[in-house]
Amino acid sequence: MTDVQLPQGLPRRVPVRQVLCLLPLALVLLVAVRHRSVLEEGFGQLRGAEWPWLVAAVAATCLTWVAAAFTRQGAVVERLPARRLLATQFAAGAANHLLPSGLGAGAVNLRFMTVCGVPLARSSAALALYLLAESITRVGLLLALLITFPGALHLGPLVPSGAVGPLALTAGAGLCAAVGASLLLVRRLRTAVWSFLRTALGEARSVHTRPARALALWGGSLAFPALQAAGLAAVGRALGLPVPPAHIVVAYLAATVAVALVPVPGGIGSVEAALIVTLVAAGAPVALATAVVLGYRIITVWLPLLPGALTLGALLRLKVI
């Protein structure tokens, strides 16, 4: 085990793993201090809510970790230990809110799979397959609901008429041009990308030859955003939000798709703003939409953050990750 040398006057050596076990708790404290006003206001909004709907929101949040565990298992051929996999998803949720969005959960799951004996290249391919499946199902669910409920969102007052299409096309073209130029100009990058794609395609083919794995992958990917959106709808009902639940689901999916590429810790700040905007577009008053979003983030982010960090530290200490 690698050790670190400490200054004189302190014990000579402290194992690095023990330091890492305490790091998540320190990060939780830092984030909580930085956002203490949000915590106070969020808990205040929940005091007058209808508690059965809050319980439903908590239950939906807990089920998201189960859905994530199914999706992670579906992305690899090897059978992963179920209990440790579920605990890892709970810990990964905390890591995701402490590091730039997506990196925390990705790092935790990558380490877990390699500890379970999955080679690093295939673990990375499984991680990419998970992200691809989750993105496809989230966008697909949003499009299906927009077709079913075409009047769910009214973006006219929020976005200039005809601006959404050109903005999306411009952003997409710019991203494709940057990626293409990088692949053409940097030979090592091009070689690494093609090698990774071959591994990822081979892993995807192997997974889809097993119906149980494919069902876990795509079923979990669909259930994950659906449960997240159901949690927001439950909080909306608890606080008396005058918006149909289906429209709240559309608002949630639209907001999370919009901020998916924003590199901030767990989407803290950007997710709240996007959710408020889309709920207002769905017909909610601004003040009530803000209260619903704050209450929802208390349930889905802040309440699980400390136990998630403790679980993360325990998994590190037990060398599960």
- Local confidence pLDDT in tens for the 321 residues of the chain: 445 454 555 455 556 656 666 666 666 666 666 666 666 676 777 777 888 999 999 999 999 999 999 999 999 999 999 999 999 999 998 888 777 656 788 889 999 999 999 998 889 889 989 989 999 999 999 999 999 999 888 765 555 445 445 545 555 555 556 556 654 555 565 666 667 677 778 888 999 999 999 999 999 999 999 999 999 999 999 999 999 999 999 999 999 988 876 555 555 567 888 898 999 999 989 888 888 998 898 899 888 988 998 899 899 888 898
CA distance 2 to 18: 11
Decide: helix, strand or coil at residue 157: coil
Q: Are 286 and 276 in contact (CB under 8 A)?
A: yes
- Measured between its terminal Cα atoms, the distance across the chain in Å is 15
Inter-CA distances, 79 with 69, 116, 207, 213, 224, Å: 12, 9, 12, 10, 21
Q: Are 298 and 39 in contact (CB under 8 A)?
A: yes
Burial class of residue 224 in the structure, from the number of CB atoms within 10 Å of its CB (0-12 exposed, 13-18 middle, 19+ buried)? buried
H helix runs in the chain, sequence order: 16-34, 36-46, 51-74, 82-98, 103-115, 120-148, 164-185, 187-208, 211-238, 245-258, 270-281, 286-297, 303-317
Where are the chain's structural domains?
A: 16-155+204-317
pTM higher than the cut 0.85: no
Query: Sign of the C-alpha dihedral, residues 69, 72, 73, 74?
Result: positive
> What DSSP state is assigned to residue 79?
P
Q: Residue 75, SS3?
A: coil
Contacts for 77 with CB less than 8 Å, ≥ 6 apart: 203, 206, 207, 210, 213
